[in-house]
């Protein structure tokens, strides 16, 4: 039987485990420790690394908030109750090297006074330069985790990720996808086991990619393209991301909600890369129908 206290404890362990992996790999950067309290109920711990050797910015944040359901909440199922309790961990990593992809993941759990409860979460990879072997590795790890749990559905959740992480106003995917699942109410015990397995395997899904890209030589042109692609990342989080919207609507801590944004981004008017360039290759992928990476 899933209990809120067990889920919160597991999420806190996940936060500390991921931080340990990232600090070890970076070698220099260290995460701050910023506990916060939500006046309406609950709080969390925001952990941000800035200016590391290989990681320009990373945030690994835990939250557990509760209270009366705000009026006008756009989360339809959550809005059906008069009170709620939501807890989760979110991760965002923005590497310094343009050849190293950004990474995002989150796992979350929600309860309301209507006796409804569900899990959600996912993980996705956002490269500025396409290395197909990185996408294959990332998806193979995620598919492997799903294969171990009856409640997990890789193909369905991969499609949901492709559909969700999309800049509809530009006709582009944010990256090469991953998993996205939400409002999972069936077999909560196995879904909780899946979430724990996913949390344990996420370092293996992403860190080998970061390790093999973070020391590649690059120049000013690659850095500029990196900033341009980061602007698309910012656009998604500010326009389309449900987590950002939910945090703002429930009175979450603004600094923690917006910690996912990249440290530096650039908007260049009507920029198109040279045909046949590595930059153009990336655009051809994110502007095309989603690919299978298995």
DSSP for the chain? ---HHHHHHHHHHHHHHHHHHHHHHHSS-----EEEE-TTSEEEEE-EEES-SSEEEEEEEEEEEEEEPPTT-S-HHHHTSSEEEEEEEEEEEEESSTTSPEEEEEEEEEEETTS-EEEEEEEEEE-SS--HHHHHHHHHHHHHHHHT-TT--HHHHHHHHHHHSEETTTTEESSSEEEEEEEE-S-HHHHHHHHHHHHHHHHHHHHHHHHHHTT----HHHHHHHHHHHHHHHHHHHHT-HHHHHHHHTT--HHHHGGGS-S-----TT--PPTTSHHHHHHHHHTSPPPP--
Residue range 210-223: mean pLDDT, rounded = 98
Q: Is 21 exposed, middle or buried (0-12, 13-18, 19+ CB in 10 A)?
A: middle
Distance (Å, whole) CA 256 – CA 258: 6
pLDDT of residue 79: 47
Whether this model's pTM surpasses 0.85? yes
pLDDT of residue 77: 52
Percent pLDDT > 70 in the chain is 96
Q: Catalytic residues, which ones?
A: 104
How far CA 63 is from CA of 51, 109, 119, 241, 261, in Å, comes to 24, 11, 15, 17, 18
| pLDDT-derived band at 249, boundaries 50, 70, 90 | confident
Structural tokens at position 84: 């709620």
Structural tokens at position 8: 């919160």
- Answer with the residue of higher pLDDT: 259 or 53: 53
Residue range 273-278: mean pLDDT, rounded = 97
Assess whether pLDDT exceeds 60 at residue 75: no
Sign, CA torsion 139/142/263/20: negative
pLDDT digits (tens, 9 = 90+) for 148-165: 999 999 999 999 999 999
Q: Would you say 36 and 44 are in contact if contact means Cβ atoms under 8 Å apart?
A: yes
Distance (Å, whole) CA 155 – CA 160: 9
Q: Which residue bears the tokens 């206290």?
A: 5
Sign, CA torsion 51/141/105/90: negative
pLDDT digits (tens, 9 = 90+) for 223-242: 999 999 999 999 999 999 98
pLDDT digits (tens, 9 = 90+) for 78-94: 545 678 899 999 999 99
> Which candidate, 233, 229, 236, places its Cα nearest to that of 280?
229
Q: Would you say 93 and 263 are in contact if contact means Cβ atoms under 8 Å apart?
A: no
Q: Would you say 31 and 45 are in contact if contact means Cβ atoms under 8 Å apart?
A: no
Residue 289 CB contacts under 8 Å (≥ 6 apart), including other chains: none
Assess whether pLDDT exceeds 50 at residue 74: no
pLDDT of residue 251: 79
Phi/psi at 71 (nearest 5 deg)? -70, 145
33-37, 64-68, 87-91, 283-287, range with the lowest pLDDT? 64-68
Percent pLDDT > 90 in the chain is 83
Helix (H) or strand (E) holding 7: helix 4-26
């Amino acid at each position: 039987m899933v209990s809120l206290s067990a889920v919160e404890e597991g999420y806190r362990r996940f936060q500390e485990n991921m931080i340990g992996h990232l600090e070890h790999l970076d070698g220099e950067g260290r995460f701050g420790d910023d506990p916060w309290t939500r006046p309406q109920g609950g709080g969390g711990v925001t952990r941000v690394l800035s200016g590391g050797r290989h990681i320009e910015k990373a945030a690994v944040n835990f939250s557990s908030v509760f209270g009366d359901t705000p009026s006008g909440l756009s989360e339809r199922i959550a809005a059906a109750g008069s009170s709620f309790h939501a807890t989760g961990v979110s991760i965002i990593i923005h590497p310094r090297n343009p050849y190293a992809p950004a990474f995002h993941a989150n796992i979350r759990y929600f309860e309301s006074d209507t006796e409804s409860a569900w899990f959600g979460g996912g993980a996705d990879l956002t490269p500025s330069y396409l290395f197909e072997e990185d996408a294959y590795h990332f998806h193979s790890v995620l598919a492997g985790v799903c294969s171990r749990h009856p409640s997990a559905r890789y193909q369905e959740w991969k499609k949901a990720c492709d559909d969700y992480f999309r800049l509809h106003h530009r006709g582009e995917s944010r990256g090469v996808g991953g998993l996205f699942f939400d409002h999972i109410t069936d077999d909560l015990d196995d879904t909780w086991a899946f979430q724990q397995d996913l949390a344990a395997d996420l370092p293996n899904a992403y860190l080998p990619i970061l390790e093999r890209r973070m020391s590649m030589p690059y120049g000013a042109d690659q850095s500029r393209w990196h900033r341009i692609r980061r602007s698309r990342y910012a656009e998604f989080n500010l326009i389309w991301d449900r987590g950002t919207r939910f945090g703002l609507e429930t009175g979450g801590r603004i600094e923690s909600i917006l910690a996912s944004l990249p440290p530096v981004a650039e908007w260049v008017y009507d920029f198109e890369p040279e045909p046949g360039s590595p930059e153009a290759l990336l655009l051809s992928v994110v502007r095309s129908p989603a690919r299978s990476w298995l």
